[in-house]
Amino acid sequence: MLKADQKDKDKLIKPLFETGRTYWVTIAILLAIIGWALYMYYRQLTLGMKVTGMQRPVYWGVYMVNFIFFIGISHAGTLISAILRVTGAEWRRPITRVAEAITAFALIVGSLQIIIDMGRPDRLLSVILNGRLQSPILWDVLSVTAYFLGSITYLYLPVIPDAALLRDNLPPYSPAWRKRLYSIMALGWRGNRTQWIRLEKAIAVMAVLIIPIAVSVHTIISWILATTVQPGWHSTIFGPYFVVGAIFSGIGALFIAMTIVRWKLKLEEYITEKQYNNLGLIFITMSAVWMYFTYAEHMIITAGQEVYEFPVLTSKLWGDYAVSFWVMVALMVVSFWIMVIPRLISKTAKRFLVFQPRFTTGAVLLAVVTGYYLVTDSTIPGLSGINPETLFFLVRGSLLVELLFVGLGVAKWFKTRLVAATTVAGVMVVIGMWLERWNIIIPTMTHPYLVSWAEYHPTITEVALTAGSVALFIFMFLVFFKLFPIISIWEVAEGRVIDAERAKVTIPMPEASGIKERLRGKGIRKARG
């Protein structure tokens, strides 16, 4: 009999057996959406792909965008948790389970997109029977299979001790099937030393193996596009660009999941600001790298004299896809801003006018007014004498300055609200990364070489199936975490022990006069004990 801590029991095990109304309502809504999507898919099967907005030349549409997006999200987990495990980052412990679950479910939903996208899903088996290794689709089959199986394993291995713990600490009112489930899942886990050592070895090996597989998955997805000669896709940068984007969006998804879990299950004690802070730093890095790649990708097209690539670029910069492109850029910039700037602002910044709420409010109002004039293109009273070209720059310039001030004010507000800032950034990045996939696939598809340029508008079928996919993802998440603890109990417990051990080590503080104050000023405290 393994004994769980009372705290873990209350916080992590009890919720598995107590289900509120909200949960069931959510499940019902999700099932309704999934049902709708199933119906729409049935229509697509019987009527053909004509129910989608895809066409010639836009042979790939939202399904493909979803595919890349979900596979990208899947990098949340396994890759992050694997990297953190391998590098021995202690703070990873409370979030590994969530991350790994995201991976497994995003992979399922992502792979499903390919089947949805196929004209002949009944011939799926043909890919195995007649698979040709020259086709990047086969590379994908290989790497996604490997990644999926690896991720499932990687999700499952740490579940074993928890399943055993659950098996032994079931509340009295739990149904019998759960006992059976946990017994089976625990694989006869006894918790003796050999098992622990073997488990940890297996996890360590998996963590190392999963990293190259994960990198390969998104590289290969990018190669599906990059191995064709279509304008805008045939780029060497795509491999790393997609991997970075995947990790980036994965962290964003992880932030959202973490926050919801933390809020709903009141796990503030487990998932602390430390996780947000540290993960946030990785996020900032990825954001910067992503922006670098994005810039590089577009920069090279701008400088190149490719007559076929240039329209793809311009359609993003000021053409049909300007909205999705600039919204993506804005989301990324703002998310970067609210992650970075609050960290740079000093606590005492309040004494500057620009950080005061009333100043920010003023800037917001002014920005709204300026924006209004800009959008409606109306004349500004009192400025009619100015040369229109000067005015053009004047209005845009002042809007920019106003927005900068708004940004500073907002950053100050976020300074003390790390979780909020991170979550908002996460949401932005998830949306932004979906748009990024859209901006990569659709403008190229609509601007091919020798087919008349086209417009692509997703139909209700595609919307339904996208909604259904998201719903399915959340549904699997909810079901899984009704069965298994959201936080790897044993890992957290191990972490507590390690923390406790570390706490015993004291670094003595130099006592030289003045130094204490100076350090304190930089936010470094004297070690306790």
Partner 1 sequence: MTNWSMVVDLDKCVACQGCSIACRFENNTPVVSPEEAALGRSILWNDVLPMPINPTEDIGEYPHSRRRYLTRPCMHCENPPCVKVCPVQATYRDEEGIVRQNYDRCIGCRFCTVACPYGVRYFNWETPSWSPEMARHLSPERVVGQGSLEGPAVRPKGVVEKCTFCIHRLQKARARAESEEREFRAEEYTPACVQTCTAKARFFGDMDDVTATASILASSPRAFRVLEDVGTHPKVIYLQEG
Partner 2 sequence: MHLDYPDNPLIEFLYWLINTPGLGGIMASVVGGGILLAVGATLRWISKGGQALEPEEFAYPTPALHSHEDTG
Amino acid of residue 359 = F
Asked if residues 387 and 422 have their Cβ atoms less than 8 Å apart, the reply is no
Cα torsion angle, 493, 499, 502, 506, sign: negative
User: Contact, 77 vs 69, CB < 8 A?
Assistant: no
Q: What is the pattern of x (binds partner 1, CB under 8 A) and - over residues 228-257?
A: xxx---------------------------
Task: Choose among 13, 92, 79: nearest CA to 492.
Answer: 92
Q: Which of 355, 475, 484, 490 binds partner 2 (CB under 8 A)?
A: 490
Whole-number minimum distance, CB 334 to partner 1, in Å? 33
- One residue of 198, 266, 396, 520 binding partner 2 per CB under 8 A: 198
Q: Is 217:394 a contact under the CB 8 Å cutoff?
A: no
Give the C-alpha distances (Å, rounded to integers) separating 485 from 14, 166, 504.
9, 9, 30
Cβ closest to partner 1, residue 452 vs residue 506: 452
Interaction of residue 226 with partner 2, rule CB under 8 A = no
Residue range at the interface with partner 1 (CB under 8 A); choices 130-138, 155-163, 189-197, 481-489 = 130-138
> Could you tell me which of 177, 239, 174, 179 has the C-alpha nearest to residue 17?
174
How far apart are the C-alpha atoms of 376 and 368, rounded to whole Å?
Answer: 12
Tokens of 253: 């998804």
Binding of partner 1 at residue 145 (CB under 8 A)?
no
The answer to whether residues 249 and 289 touch, using CB atoms and an 8 Å cutoff, is: no
Give the whole-angstrom CA distance, residue 365 versus residue 369: 6
Query: Pick from partner 1, partner 2, none: which does 120 bind, CB < 5 to 8 A by kind?
Result: partner 1
Q: Does 42 bind partner 1 (CB under 8 A)?
A: no
Decide if residue 142 touches partner 1 (CB under 8 A).
no
Contacts of 472 (CB under 8 A, 6+ apart): 30, 34, 37, 108, 109, 112
Q: How far is the CB of 148 from partner 1 (least distance, A)?
A: 18
Candidate segments 5-13, 46-54, 100-108, 409-417, binder of partner 1 by CB under 8 A: 46-54
Token couple for 18 = 């107590």
Nearest to 85 by CA among 73, 103, 97, 72: 97
* Residue 410 and residue 363 in contact, taking contact as beta carbons nearer than 8 Å: no
Question: Shortest gap between Cβ of 147 and partner 1 (angstroms)?
Answer: 18
Q: Which of the ranges 121-129, 173-181, 341-349, 470-478 carries the binding residues for partner 1, by CB under 8 A?
A: 121-129
Which x/- pattern over 194-233 shows residues binding partner 1 (rule: CB under 8 A)? ------------------------------x--xxxx---
Burial 353-374 (b: 16+ CB within 10 A, else e): eebeeebbeebbebbeebeebe
In the bound complex, what is the minimum distance in angstroms from residue 115's beta carbon to partner 1?
10
Amino acid 47 reads L
Q: Which residues of 55-78 are buried (b: 16+ CB within 10 A; e: fewer)?
A: bebbebbbbbbbbbbbbbbbbbbb
Q: Which of 102, 406, 465, 493 binds partner 2 (CB under 8 A)?
A: 493
Single out the segment in contact with partner 2 by CB under 8 A; choices: 68-76, 135-143, 263-271, 330-338. 135-143
Tell me: does residue 85 bind partner 1 (CB under 8 A). Answer: no
Q: What is the maximum span of the chain, computed from C-alpha positions, in angstroms?
A: 86
Q: Give the residue with the Cβ less far from partner 1, 216 or 360.
A: 216
User: DSSP strand E in 52-169: where?
Assistant: none
Structure tokens at 485: 């603890």
Of the listed pieces 105-113, 138-146, 325-333, 370-378, which binds partner 2 according to CB under 8 A? 138-146
Q: Is 49 in the site for partner 1 (CB under 8 A)?
A: yes
- Which partner in partner 1, partner 2, none is near 303 (CB below 5 to 8 A by kind)? none
The CB-of-101 to partner 2 minimum distance in angstroms stands at 18
Q: Which of 6, 88, 120, 128 binds partner 2 (CB under 8 A)?
A: 128
Q: Helix crossing, 238-264 with 273-303: angle to 10°?
A: 150
With contacts defined by CB under 8 A, how many residues of the chain interact with partner 1?
Answer: 48
Pick between residue 233 and residue 373 the one whose CB is nearest to partner 1. 233
Q: According to CB under 8 A, which one of 50, 201, 396, 520 is a site residue for partner 1?
A: 50
Query: By CB under 8 A, is residue 118 in contact with partner 2?
Result: no
The partner in contact with residue 454, picked from partner 2, partner 1, none with C-beta cut-offs of 5 to 8 angstroms by kind, is partner 1
Nearer to partner 1, 49 or 349 (CB): 49
Which of 342, 287, 277, 286 lies closest to 92 in space, CA to CA?
277
2 lies in the binding site for partner 2 (CB under 8 A): yes
* Least separation in angstroms between CB 270 and partner 2: 14
Closer Cβ to partner 1, 13 or 141, answer by number:
141
Task: Quote the least distance from Cβ 98 to partner 2, whole Å.
Answer: 19
| Gyration radius of the chain's alpha carbons | 26
What is the spatial distance between Cα 200 and Cα 438, in angstroms, rounded to a whole number? 40
311 binds, among partner 2, partner 1, none (CB under 5 to 8 A by kind): partner 1
Task: Tokens for 316, please give them.
Answer: 């993003």
Binding site for partner 1 (CB under 8 A): 47-50, 53-57, 59-60, 114, 117-121, 123-124, 126-127, 129-132, 134-138, 141, 224, 227-230, 307-308, 311, 445, 447-454
Binding site for partner 2 (CB under 8 A): 1-4, 127-135, 138, 141-142, 145-146, 149-150, 153, 156-157, 160-161, 165, 187-200, 202, 489-490, 493-494, 497-498, 501
